[in-house]
A = this chain, B = another copy of it.
């Protein structure tokens, strides 16, 4: 079935300026993009049109790192140092997801808020709980959100959330087997981070990843104390990334959140193995992790996308994460006296959309062959203009000022979800 969307189409085709098609059309067939056209081709005449004339059609957002069970603690404990915050809030909160009813209620609301804000794909952490993880997958799929979901593994120093190594293995297998039924969401192995997993568990996860062809997500070089701790735990490894590499977890499509303090060698290891670095600007500032070298990494070839990292990040809407990314790139520019120039709106838009979408096999922009993931913005409620604005100006302004009220339609996986 053919459908057409009409509006001002804004594509992140590269890490740079967005490509704009004014009053254009996106043609989809059974949800799959056929092309973007400034004039409607003859072949599509008479097909049904979703008319978003004078609205802005952006790509759907991909949130490539967030912790679903931390949704209840969003915006809380932000004055605490990282370790106190983890003990006072994080582990206690995550432990509550032993309760399936609470998980259902929370994850349904989370999924709705994601869609309301135009996030159509995620790479997301659950808790250690297999059942709650399956509930999270059900709720995401019900809302039409695609991506990868990980039952967290943590058998060391994990307070209320700790599993035994045997439990962790057993539950991981039970979970993987139960995932067959999902179509939009897939499992991803999720050793929380090196300090919370024994070597035995890490080794076993590497084997499972290989045997079952399942991707891996974890954390890397987020803050200096964590890096010191990892050094102590692994005198056998020169660098943090090697603690994953030695167990077969550092490879194509492995996701590493943060990488704030990764040096050039660690960055090169990402490039060499096609590891995705997920930059989480709001988390980095809230937890005082540092100013990630996003432009440097991106320009030298590291694959970088964006994540909200709730609840280290206190902002779920990716539009907020995008503008936070811009602001944090300016913090880095200030801290480096301009040696690392800040990111432009177009560049951060690319990180929030196409860079993440590539993880799911998409080509950049609204490329033919991609399933449609789109966000329609109505910017009429924004302040009065002194002159007619260009679409690029409207886009940049809408990125800064919009909230879910401006998001009047959301398409994910080719379907209209809002």
Contacts and interface: CB of A to CB of B under 8 A. Distances in A.
Contacts of A72: 383-386
A93 interface: yes
B342 A288 contact: yes
A399 B384 CA distance: 28
Interface of A is mostly: helix
Nearest to A80: B344
Contact of A400 (B78, B323, B403): B78
Interface of A: 71-79, 92-93, 96, 102, 105-106, 109-110, 282, 285-286, 288-291, 314, 323, 326-327, 330-331, 333-335, 338, 342, 344-345, 382-387, 389, 393, 396-401, 403
A288 B330 contact: yes
Contact of A78 (B333, B389, B396): B396
Contacts of A396: 75-79
For the complex of A and B, 7 pairs with smallest distance between CB atoms: A75-B400, A96-B386, A75-B397, A79-B344, A314-B400, A75-B401, A331-B331
Q: Which of the listed residues A72, A102, A314, A386 has the most CB atoms from chain B within 10 Å of its own CB?
A: A386
B401 A403 contact: no
Contacts of A345: 78-79
Contacts of A73: 386
Count this chain's copies in the assembly. Answer: 2
Contact of A71 (B282, B289, B383, B400): B383
B285 A76 contact: no
A313 to B, nearest CB: 10
Contacts of A110: 383
A258 to B, nearest CB: 14
A323 B79 CA distance: 12
A323 B327 contact: no
B403 A106 contact: no
Nearest to A92: B386
A78 to B, nearest CB: 7
Nearest to A347: B79
A333 B288 contact: yes
A330 B331 CA distance: 11
Nearest to A290: B334
Given A314-B401, A330-B285, A384 B106 contact: yes
Contact of A102 (B78, B285, B290, B386): B386
Contacts of A74: 382-383, 397, 400-401
B326 A78 contact: yes
Contacts of A344: 79
A288 B334 contact: yes
A401 B323 CA distance: 16
A79 B383 CA distance: 19
A384 B68 CA distance: 12
